[in-house]
């Protein structure tokens, strides 16, 4: 358990250092790189994300994003390794003053490791998730922090074969807290 905490702390510190060292200025707000923690959304339970502005014209912005997501799983009352995911996506933002309407699409390739008693609980599985999003984001241009919320349904394909498992759909919401650099 202590090793996992140290890995997460190391990963968070490395991402923060990377984001800090690669600071570039944009036209209006002066910020083009964002690091965020999201509850819900593309990371399922929680994710650490890095967004980078690649296009800005008037009120229109385009932000690719990458991240790492995690969802803990309990089996027989014990915490397992859970589900980890690699997130890649793009968000479109339409800005009006400090307010932004967000529409986007993310892909999440997840792996689940189950460890428990009995053969059914010793499994490894891979899932592909498509996660569209629509939401709201607020950021004062003089502040480094932003806050967002919205709706991001999860469409999943379990396993590598669509013939073995049906597509699944789940309503999902998110809250984002972030830091702009």
Contacts of 148 (CB under 8 A, 6+ apart): 100, 102, 135, 136, 137, 138, 174, 175, 176, 178
Q: Is the pLDDT of residue 175 over 70?
A: yes
Q: Is the pLDDT of residue 91 over 50?
A: yes
Q: Is the pLDDT of residue 12 over 80?
A: no
* Cα distance between residue 30 and residue 63, in whole Å: 15
Q: How confident is the model at residue 179 (pLDDT cuts 50, 70, 90)?
A: confident
Q: Is the pLDDT of residue 109 over 70?
A: yes
pLDDT of residue 5: 53
What is the pTM (predicted TM-score) of this model? 0.71
Q: How confident is the model at residue 43 (pLDDT cuts 50, 70, 90)?
A: confident
pLDDT of residue 1: 47
Q: How far is CA 133 from the centre of its chain?
A: 11
Q: How confident is the model at residue 23 (pLDDT cuts 50, 70, 90)?
A: very low
pLDDT of residue 6: 55
Beta bridge partners of 146: 178
Q: What are the structural domains of the chain?
A: 2-180 (2.40.160.20)
Q: Is the pLDDT of residue 134 over 60?
A: yes
Question: Residues 68-75: what's their mean pLDDT?
Answer: 82
* Cα distance between residue 74 and residue 124, in whole Å: 15
Beta bridge partners of 79: 74
Placement of tokens 């999440």 in the chain:
108
**Which one is predicted more confidently, 121 or 109?**
109
pLDDT of residue 30: 61
């Amino acid at each position: 358990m202590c090793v996992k905490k140290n890995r997460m702390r190391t990963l968070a510190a490395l991402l923060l250092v990377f984001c800090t060292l690669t600071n570039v200025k944009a036209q209006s707000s002066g910020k083009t790189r964002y690091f965020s923690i999201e509850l819900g959304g593309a990371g399922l339970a929680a994710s650490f994300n890095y967004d980078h502005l690649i296009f800005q014209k008037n009120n229109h912005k385009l932000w690719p994003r990458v991240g790492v997501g995690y969802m803990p799983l309990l089996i027989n009352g014990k915490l397992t390794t859970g589900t980890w995911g690699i997130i890649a996506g793009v968000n479109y933002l339409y800005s009006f003053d400090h307010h932004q309407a967000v529409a986007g699409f993310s892909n999440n390739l997840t792996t689940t490791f189950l460890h428990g008693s009995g053969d059914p609980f010793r499994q490894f599985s891979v899932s592909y998730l498509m996660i569209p999003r629509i939401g709201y984001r607020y950021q004062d241009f003089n502040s480094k922090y932003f806050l967002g919320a919205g709706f991001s349904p999860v469409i999943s394909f379990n396993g590598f074969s669509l013939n073995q498992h049906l597509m699944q759909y789940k309503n999902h919401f998110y809250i984002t807290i972030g830091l702009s650099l």
